[in-house]
Amino acid sequence: MANLDSLFHGFVVALTMQHVMLMMVGVLLGILVGVLPGLGAPNGVTLLLPLTYTMDPVGAIILLTSMYWGALFGGSTTSILFNIPGEPSSVATTFDGHPMAKQGRAIQALSFAFLSAGFGAMVGVIVTTLLSGWVTSFALQFSSPEFFAVYFLAFASFVGLSAAQPSKTIVSILLGFAFATVGMDTISGSLRLTFGFDELLRGISFLIVVIGLFGIGELLLTMEEGLKFEGVRAKVSLAGVLETLVRMPRYWVALIRGSLIGVWMGITPGGPTAASFMSYGLAKRFSRRREHFGTGEPEGIIAPEAADHGAGTAAMLPMLALGIPGSATAAVMMGGLMIWGLNPGPMLFIERPDFVWGLIASMYIGNVVAVILVLATVPLFASILRIPFAIIGPLIVVVCFIGAWTVGASKPDLWLALIFGIVGYVFKKLDYPIAPLVLALVLGDKAEDAFRQSMLMSQGSLNIFFSNPLVGTITTLAIILVTWPFWAGLMRRVHLLRIRQPKVIE
Amino acid sequence: MDNERALISRASMEVATALVTGGVGAAVIWGAAEHDIGWGDSGPGSGYFPFRIGILIILASLTNLVLALRRRGFGNEVFVTNAQMRSVLAFGLPILGFVVLSLFLGLYVAAILYLAFVMIFQGGYRPLFAIGLAFAVAVAMRLIFPIWFKVPLLTGPIEALLGLY
Amino acid sequence: MIPKVINAQRALGFAASAAMALVLGTAPAFAQAEWKPTKPVEFVGAAGAGGGTDIFARAVQLAIQNNKLIDQPILVSNKGGGSGAETFVYVKAAEGDGHKLAFGTSNLYTLPMVAKVAFKHTDFMPVAAMVFDEFILWTKGDAPYNDYKSFTTAAKAASGPFKMAGALSKDTDQTLTRLIEKDTGAKFVYIPFKSGGEASVQLTGGHVQSHVNNPSESVGHWKAGQLKALCVFSKERMAEGPKVTPTQSWHDIPTCKEQGAGIEAYQMPRTVALPPGTPQATVDFWAGVLKKVTETPEWKDYLTRTAQTGRFMAGSNLKAFIDEDEKRTRKVYEEEGWLVN
């Protein structure tokens, strides 16, 4: 196995004292930027980039990727503790993570999240190592129709889940799609739905919407039950972390399914956001404890976290080999590669094997380092919830608005965050589901671009979505999932008929 | 005063929300109509999807409206009671004040005033403690954002006077 | 082994810069004493992170930082919303502030023509055009075409139209595609992607027949033999240098004109602009700094690595160039019916 040989060589490169130190620094800095919604991974990496100009490329990429892992973990932390997802990919973690933390089980929620994230990442790296050659050529088969089919599949596996009134779910999804179309249209190059406001040029930012809908909306809702200006009484100890570790294997199905979905979406590349929603959706659909989802069910944390990190790591390989960044953070890192004098592309593997395999090896070590460090911080973070609400509540508000400001340094964004906060409050009280809105907002414009690119390619014929076995399979799967309630109903009816039939004869 | 009395009924809030979402739908249609809303040789135009999304939003909002009006099934279900509304406003109005202050005085000053206000008047902390903590937060904001991570925050006239950026 | 290569490049850069200094004499003395940055400086890139504009801004940052050309730290951010319009709106709002520089391309003056945005290129104080990026006609590595003529003839004869991928809509790539169509009578279906990198992967995967990426956007795939460079849209061949692929250096790519194309040259300037109302002394200060940047080894390195053509313009030269290029582009856009302003 030539790959294992190269990997071994990579470990030799990555496992120096200096590199392990860089990993630890990177992870810790990453956690710091991850828990502050205003900073986040892209900002952190952007900031460190100039420092790396004088470093050797292997050390530099190790520092930046470790920061990225740390920030991903930090993002899950705020999702669970405060219901504020720092990255689109940790939205799905809020659904069960936050309820669990509110019940005083923050330690368990955080530990479940970090352990499954670490597991997902590990699966991602292993697949990357074993299949590096195949992954790239597979990714090359993806064009716009395949992209559209993948987004459609992610969407189909998530929607139709909520118990809400269908017309409310529809309004929610459509609002998300409508917000996604604001700003520059890639295909026609014209500005849409900006109504002449310069502030809307860049579109409606995901971060502002979730800060409002999730963060501020949740706070307002909490306040309704009176000014409970006291902290959540939670037992905070390292033992809770170990207990969770022991309980982890019980959820192996969700864990493995989540990781595989993540790896698949990372390679295809549908991305971590689509992966986490899809994984949550499928876990809920096929779980025996379906009705407990949304109330603090461990599977509801494990599924999206494993998928999120599985996708994040699996996406690194296509990025290096094709030169396509899978996320904003990855895009900044690619800029770094060019500055260090490396050209992302297939030749990178041949010209600089020390760099590529050093990076892959550092992903093994870095993720282990990250999981250990982040688990050690769990008691610290969980005890934040014990701070009286009269202090932590307004602090969260301040942090939320700092986050809203840093998105685009524009004043109207502060109003927008406040408005979305009120919308979030009203929607929750009236049982309008919020998650579909966020998913539609994140995937909407990508899906529309992919769809219209496909239509340009096929001159307006929808047959392109069945034009080869790959796209045909994904599209068919998506259609089956979207019509699942219908099939399930049909099967039930057939089943009932079968039972009744004999009785009729009698 | 009856704290459990309904300030706003669920039914009326349902109606109001449906009207607002319908209004958003109308705005989307209006904005989309500026663009090509047809499906040509090269597939859908740039207004094709927004236009139809707008129409569907209005249809779904109408459904919500009709359900809310007809069912009245929410019966006497309450959206917020007096007591709840008071709690929400007690928390929400300072946030509004914080946003307005930020626009004029910058995020630092607004954060200090807002934090001190909430901690003293709602949390019942000693003024010295609250003000000290509020300043500590502002210092942390300044260290973390513009100084360590080079992300400038909104500043106002007071920072300009002090020569800070 | 590898560090040696880098050192060699550095040394080459030093030699080149020394030679340049000899030819040009000492840089003109700008009135630097009058204005100096007093707080951290912001370089705002009018495109997404990791793209050509981002790397341009970072290369300038690197050169300034390593040679200590200014005393204040520099932050590079990217505001790519609205195809970069976000940057220009942001910088326009910072009236008179010499600490915010917009890094862009010709989009500084072409964007306001095709999108309803609240700025004109004349609002800004242009500082410099530092480098010109080339456009190359690329096809898949195993495609049966070897030059401009054979490719466009095949495109003309094809039963289904050829697909041309590119970055963004109504921008340089699509404009050049239209120019090729007018030149040859071939028809292409232009498919816009978010970046040149994405377009390049689509071509590598065989989903489209061609694109007109800048050299740096496709060099990785070219090296691997997945793409073939047919010709470059420039008056002269690109600078001589070491072989990039086993058989070719950038200089070995023929110009499209050599191959009989009617397009004289098509290049994209990389520009730096200051907010409206910035005092002339500040503009001069930055022009001086950027001029010095072009003399650093880091800059030479950047030019070599991204295969761009260095050409520094400032002051009245720059204004004249922008006016002329604006007029030429406007004509094309008018014919295509893209103009909105």
| Domain co-membership, C280 together with C157 | no
Percentage of chain C beyond pLDDT 90 is 72
Strand order in the sheet with C136-140: C188-193, C162-167, C210-211, C136-140, C227-232
Q: What is the phi/psi pair of residue C226, to 5°?
A: -80, -20
Domain that holds residue A350: 2-505
A409-418 residue pLDDT tens = 889 999 999 9
Q: What is the mean pLDDT of residues C166-187?
A: 94
DSSP letter at C160 equals S
Alpha-carbon gap: A13 to the closest alpha carbon of chain B (Å): 30
Question: How do residues A239-270 score in pLDDT, each as one tens digit?
Answer: 888 889 999 999 999 999 999 999 999 888 78
* B-proximal residues of C, 57-76, CB under 8 Å: 73, 75
State the pLDDT at residue A278.
93
| Domain count within chain A | 1
pLDDT in tens, A5-30: 888 888 888 888 899 999 999 999 99
Is C116 an interface residue toward B (CB < 8 Å)? no
What residues does each domain of chain B span?
6-76, 86-162
Neighbours of B100 (CB within 10 A): 14
CB proximity A167 to C under 8 Å: no
What is the CATH classification number for the domain harbouring C43? Answer: 3.40.190.150
Average pLDDT of span C232-237: 94
The rounded distance, in Å, linking the Cα atoms of A434 and A172 is 7
Query: In terms of residue numbers, what domain contains C286?
Result: 2-133+268-336
Is the ipTM here above 0.90? yes
Per-residue pLDDT reduced to its tens digit, A222-236 = 888 765 545 555 566
| Same-domain check for residues C304 and C217 | no
CA distance A410 to C156: 49
CATH number of C201's domain = 3.40.190.10
Residues C247, C158, single domain; the answer is: yes
Report CB contact under 8 Å: A224, B87.
Answer: yes
Would you place residue C7 in the very low, low, confident or very high pLDDT band (cuts 50, 70, 90)?
very low
Contact C124, C112 (CB under 8 A): no
Nearest-angstrom CA–CA distance, A234 and B149: 33
Q: Indicate which of C72, C97, C169 best probes the interface with A, i.e. most A CBs within 10 Å of its own CB.
A: C169
Round the average pLDDT of chain C to a whole number and report it.
88
Across the A/C interface, how many CB contacts are shorter than 8 Å?
A: 161
Percent of chain B with pLDDT over 90: 57
Residue C11 has pLDDT above 70, yes or no: no
Same domain, C17 and C123: yes
Shortest distance between the Cα of B123 and any Cα of chain C, in A, equals: 39
Residue A333 has pLDDT above 90, yes or no: no
| The pLDDT value given to residue A270 | 80
Q: Cβ C118–A456 below 8 Å, yes or no?
A: no
Q: Residues B59-115: pLDDT tens digits?
A: 999 999 999 888 765 667 888 888 888 889 989 999 999 999 999 999 999 999 999
Mutate to test the interface with B, among A25, A31, A45, A168 (most CBs of B within 10 A): A168
- Among B150, B155, B164, most C C-beta atoms within 10 A, so best to mutate, is B150
Of C192, C221, C252, the domain-final residue:
C252
Summarised one tens digit per residue, pLDDT across range C93-147 is: 999 999 999 999 999 999 999 988 889 999 999 999 999 999 999 999 999 999 9
Within chain C, strands assigned E span 41-45, 74-78, 100-104, 125-134, 136-140, 162-167, 188-193, 210-211, 227-232, 267-274, 309-314
Q: From C225, C252, C279, give the residue that closes a domain.
A: C252
The mean pLDDT value of chain B amounts to 89
- Residues C179, C201, single domain; the answer is yes
Chain A residue numbers with beta carbons less than 8 Å from the beta carbon of B35 are 188, 190, 192
Query: Is A263:A310 a contact under the CB 8 Å cutoff?
Result: yes
For position C27, what pLDDT does the model report? 42
Total domains present in chain C: 2
CA-wise closest residue to C28 among C211, C288, C281: C288
Between CA A3 and CA A477 the distance in angstroms is 33
CA angle, A124 then A129 then A132, to 5°: 100
Nearest Cα residue in chain B from A224 = B84
The enclosing H or E element of C275 equals none
Rounded mean pLDDT of C332-341? Answer: 88
Report chain A's mean pLDDT, rounded to a whole number: 87
The residue-averaged pLDDT of C308-336 equals 93
Please check whether residue C243 lies inside any domain of the structure: yes
Contact A324 C76 (CB under 8 A): no
Is the confidence at residue A296, as pLDDT, over 60?
yes
Does position A336 have pLDDT exceeding 90, yes or no? no
Cis peptide leading into A269, omega within 30 of 0? Answer: yes
The pair of structure tokens assigned to B99 is 């946003």
Task: Say whether residue A420 is in contact with chain B using an 8 A CB cutoff.
Answer: no
Rounded to 5 degrees, φ, ψ at C300 are -60, -40
Residue C163: its pLDDT value, please? 96
With contact defined as 3+ CB pairs under 8 Å, the chains touching C are A, B
- Tell which residue, A499, A434, A483, has the closest CA to residue A95: A434
Between A449 and A38, whose confidence is greater?
A449
Pair (C211, C275) in one structural domain: no
- Within a domain: residue C258? no
Is 50 exceeded by the pLDDT of residue C20? no
pLDDT higher than threshold 70 for residue A504 = no
Is some CB atom of chain B closer than 8 A to the CB atom of A227?
yes
For residue A82, give the nearest of A34, A30, A19 by alpha carbon.
Answer: A34
> Nearest residue on chain C to A349, judged by CA atoms?
C224
Query: What's the pLDDT score for residue A231?
Result: 53
C198 shares contact with chain A (CB less than 8 Å) = yes
pLDDT of residue A493: 84
Are residues C212 and C281 located together in one domain of the fold?
Answer: no
Of C224, C252, C280, the position where a domain reaches its end is: C252
C259 found inside a domain: no
* C317 part of contact set with chain A, CB < 8 Å: no
Q: Which chains touch A (3 or more CB pairs under 8 A)?
A: B, C
Nearest CA in chain B to C189: B42
Q: Give the best residue of C67, C86, C99 to mutate against chain A (max A CB count within 10 A).
A: C86
- To which H or E segment does residue B6 belong? strand B6-9
Per CB-CB distance under 8 Å, the chain A contacts of B41 are: 459-460
Task: Using pLDDT thresholds of 50, 70 and 90, give the confidence band for residue C24.
Answer: very low
Q: H helices of A287-340, where?
A: 298-314, 316-322, 328-339
